[in-house]
Structure 1
């Protein structure tokens, strides 16, 4: 049952995390090479900070806790698009999981199998709460 759900929703659970991770890694490489910058009011992601002597001195004088906090914040910012994409994929999965089966009449086929409705709903819940987040972990590791 879980394999069936993954086959039916492979774009959202398997391909989408890798597409987002690839896009984010391309952005990081472009920023690292100095070809682009990401600037907002509260956040600046640029290679120009490494030529600023004030920033370099602040990095040298920082404690280990401050460095680990800065790295943790950077990794959260880097991984948040994947989590947002997973949220949209789970929303689309949750909204369409029963509606699509009724629309294309495949629910009649699945009801003819010796599997209870409780087991079917439970398998869909397992996919949404356990399997889909586990499928995003390799893309997060690739990105970090």
Structure 2
């Protein structure tokens, strides 16, 4: 008789491997919002930017043909000879050119981030609700994966994976637009390398965008936590619950003036609580808004690493992180027993 083959022993799956598989699942289930939406938005943005560049060149040629002149530091430049124009630029002019180029590149890359705002918002709203609605939550709970790992994979997707894809597409757009600017400059007699590439604005801005991902991931935790909480709790229409509860709270506090009893402004709740619950997916912090409104600093300082990570010096950042962590913990707890569709 043949001897029985002993059963093979399989090593248990490492938790990091399971978490990576969960992230891959989120990507494949929401690839349209994670990959295609920012890619299409970036392509449209690039086409519009190049179109505006071409239109500007046509208008400039038309103005010169009608007798217009270009002057720089008292020197009249015939036609659109950008090479001669570049030779007349002072150090202050080059600094202003670098600042303008930084702002232009940042604006050219905004479309993927605009799409990202809505993708993260609606992804979080349906992250836990959709599984209960189509009853697939029963299948996923039959797998050896904890509720904590499942919810945290959705948090990581919302705060890190989706912003990473949007940032990468934004960087590609900036490089493509700068290449288009370089071709236009070279076609009109200017050397684009010292003029457009020598200041390193595109490289510095790309590194700063990537470095900003953890900062804005922490900033959006209150919004992600609130939306996941509504997604795990609501029996139907989580969008209405997520929107109406904070708005009703804000309207009630403003109409009654209860916050003034404890020494707070009547509309304090809107800017410090409700905005953090609903608008955290917008990659602009309160500190950034104050910096822009002040208008004293430069664009490089706003996008600099100290400027970005200086957001962690604000108490509102840490309060938001704590509030987001509490709401995420509640969402994990709700997923353990709320299975009805």
How many pairs align? Answer: 132
Query: 1:40-59 residue pairs with structure 2 within 5 A?
Result: 46-47=56-57, 48=59, 53=69, 57=72
Quick one: structure 1 residues 143 and 53, their matched pair in 2 at CA, closer, same or farther if it must change by over 3 Å? farther
1:122 to 149, 152, 166: 152
Once residues 19 and 53 of structure 1 are traced to their aligned partners in structure 2, the CA distance between those partners, rounded to angstroms, is 40
Distance 1:98 1:7 in 2: 16
Larger CA deviation: 106-115 vs 77-86: 77-86
Question: In structure 2, what is the equivalent of residue 71 of structure 1?
Answer: 101
1:38 is aligned to none
Task: Supply the distance in 2 between the matched residues of 1:4 and 1:111 (Cα, whole angstroms).
Answer: 14
In structure 2, the residue matched to 1:102 is 132
The correspondence for 1:15, drawn from 24, 36, 43, is 36
Q: Given that residues 34 and 119 in structure 2 are in contact (C-alpha distance below 8 angstroms), is that contact kept between their aligned partners in structure 1?
A: yes
Deviates more, 1:121-130 or 1:56-65: 56-65
Q: Which of 111, 118, 121 is equivalent to 1:91?
A: 121
Deviation at 1:63, TM superposition (A): 2.7
Q: Distance in 2 between matches of 1:4 and 1:112?
A: 16
Distance 1:69 1:108, change over 3 A: same
| TM-score (normalizing by structure 2) | 0.36
Confirm or deny that 1:139 pairs with 2:139: no
Q: Is 1:31 aligned to residue 52 of structure 2?
A: yes
- Choose between structure 1 and 2: higher helix proportion: 1
C-alpha spacing 1:33/1:115, structure 2 compared with 1 (3 Å): same
Higher relative contact order (CA 8 A, sep 6+): 1
Report the CA distance between 1:80 and its aligned residue. Answer: 1.6
Unaligned runs of 5+ residues in structure 2 are: 1-21, 74-85, 175-341
Q: Which has the larger radius of gyration?
A: 2
C-alpha distance 143-4 of structure 1, shift in aligned 2 (>3 A): same
- Aligned equivalents of 1:14 and 1:94: distance in 2? 16
CA apart distance, 1:53: 4.3
Q: CA deviation at 1:26?
A: 1.1
Q: Deviations over 1:88-107 (max 9, x none)?
A: 11011011111111111110
**Alpha carbons 2:112, 2:167 under 8 Å: kept:** no
26, 30, 42: which is aligned to 1:5?
A: 26
- Please list every run of 5 or more consecutive structure 1 residues that lacks an aligned counterpart in the other structure: 35-45
Q: Measure the CA separation in 2 of the matches of 1:72 and 1:25.
A: 16
Q: What TM-score comes out, normalization by structure 1 length?
A: 0.81
1:41 equivalent in structure 2:
none
